Amino acid sequence: MYTEHSRIYKTHSQSKITSRKNTTRKHFPFDTHGFNFHGLNNKNFLRALPCLCFIATIAFSFSIVASYTRHHSYYRQEDASVQTIRFAAKNEIFDEASDTFDVSISFADSAITVSTAPTTVAELLDELNLDMSTREAELSGDTVLSSASSFRIYDVDYDVTTQTEIIPYETETIGVSTIPYGTTRVIQKGINGSITKTIKQKIIDGSISSETISSTARTEPVNEIIYKGIGGYFVGADGVRYHYSHYIDVQATAYTAREGARTASGYPVGTDVIAVDPRVIALGTKVYVASDYYDCGVRYARDTGSAIKGNIIDVFMGTDGEAYQAALSWGRRSCRVYFLIDD
């Protein structure tokens, strides 16, 4: 056990550590015991140095922001109808800030006065943070404002409408001899055409400023076709000129009957008789039957038959044996039946 007066011995390792510490201390730029900065010795000062640098950087940044804010700031003065905004800004198209002047901007229901250095309309509106999505300035965006001036900002809206114009169809009348004289028959029904226009209207402050046609669609009309019966004339095999109302093409057969037989209408059979379908040729109608094989001449629709349906007629040939042979030779033939008009 040592007393306070006992000598302290250092081991060889402790001597090396002490020597290393002394050697390191010699490389400091100032002596630890000789330097004092506001109560901080050299070692504590080095520890605090990063914090001091960070604080200095923050302070410098705030000074720059404050300077920029003062340079670009503006304040508002308002009354019942007019708002005044004053700011002095260095604009991109000018090298240096200039003396300011007033620019009046009017809206549909208000107005503002802006104090500014020379600038363009687009830059001024951008500085004011005005929403121009539904507005339009009276002056173009590249107009330079270099002295006291004024312009208006309009409220702009667009309205799209569709207009349809009817193209009426035309009626074409064709004279034919296949329907009764003086009657008409619609062969093709008319359909109106149309022109559809899509119109875009530009509305400024509630009034239509302009209209443009953005698209057009056209549908052509379909004409109406009407047949009108005009009748006609022809010369029969007997050399007589006949006037007819109209004609139909039919299939014709031939028949005979006993002497004294009567037709369905009560008339006695004769060589001036044909059997018909009353739905096609009314009983009692006076006709002329013509064919390439045989011209039957003038006939009257007075008889009917169970096999006579539609556009089929049966031509009476007579009552004797010769007539019977003629009927057999006739067979079935194409004929044209003219509906005669007595002038």
pLDDT recorded at residue 115: 92
Domain identity same for 263 and 221: no
- CATH code where residue 166 lies: 2.20.230.10
Q: Give 195-240 as a DSSP string.
A: EEEEEEEEEETTEEEEEEEEEEEEE--B-EEEEEE--EEEE-TTS-
Domain identity same for 66 and 120: no
Each residue's pLDDT, cut to its tens digit, for the chain (343 residues) gives 333 333 333 333 333 334 444 444 444 444 444 445 445 555 665 666 677 777 777 777 666 655 544 444 433 333 434 444 544 444 454 444 458 999 999 988 889 998 999 999 999 999 899 888 888 888 988 999 999 999 999 988 888 989 999 999 999 999 999 999 999 999 999 999 999 999 998 888 888 888 888 889 999 999 999 999 999 999 999 999 999 999 999 999 999 998 889 999 999 988 899 999 999 999 999 999 998 877 899 999 999 998 999 999 999 998 888 888 988 888 899 999 999 998 7
Domain identity same for 236 and 330: yes
Residue 31 domain-assigned? no
> Phi and psi at residue 336, in whole multiples of 5°?
-120, 130
Out of 72, 100, 120, a domain closes at: 72
Residue 21 domain-assigned? no
pLDDT recorded at residue 79: 40
Domain identity same for 251 and 280: yes
Domain identity same for 310 and 237: yes
Residue 210 domain-assigned? no
Domain identity same for 237 and 222: no
Instruction: Provide the residue range defining the domain that includes 140.
Output: 75-147
Residue 313 domain-assigned? yes
Q: What angle do CA 93, 95, 96 make, to 5 degrees?
A: 120
Whole-model pTM?
Answer: 0.53
pLDDT recorded at residue 226: 97
Residue 19 domain-assigned? no
Out of 100, 119, 147, a domain closes at: 147
Give the total number of structural domains in the chain: 4
Q: DSSP 3-state assignment of 129?
A: coil
pLDDT recorded at residue 283: 95
Domain identity same for 118 and 132: yes
Q: C-alpha distances in angstroms, 151 versus 76, 106, 113, 233?
A: 20, 7, 11, 86
Six-digit token string for 148:
């006291």
Residue 2 domain-assigned? no
Residue 274 domain-assigned? yes
pLDDT recorded at residue 319: 87
Q: Over the stretch 53-91, which tens digit does the pLDDT of each residue have?
A: 777 777 776 666 555 444 444 333 334 344 445 444 444
Domain identity same for 58 and 140: no
pLDDT recorded at residue 41: 57
Q: Over the stretch 301-313, which tens digit does the pLDDT of each residue have?
A: 999 998 999 999 9
Out of 147, 177, 194, a domain closes at: 147
Q: What is the mean pLDDT of the chain?
A: 80
Residues 6+ apart with CB under 8 A from 163: 196, 197, 199
Amino acid letter, residue 105: I
Query: Rounded to an integer, what distance in angstroms lies between the CA atom of residue 15 and that of residue 7?
Result: 15
Domain identity same for 137 and 170: no
Residue 207 domain-assigned? no
Domain identity same for 88 and 121: yes
Q: Are 117 and 91 in contact (CB under 8 A)?
A: yes
- CATH code where residue 268 lies: 2.40.40.10
Domain identity same for 46 and 82: no
Domain identity same for 267 and 284: yes
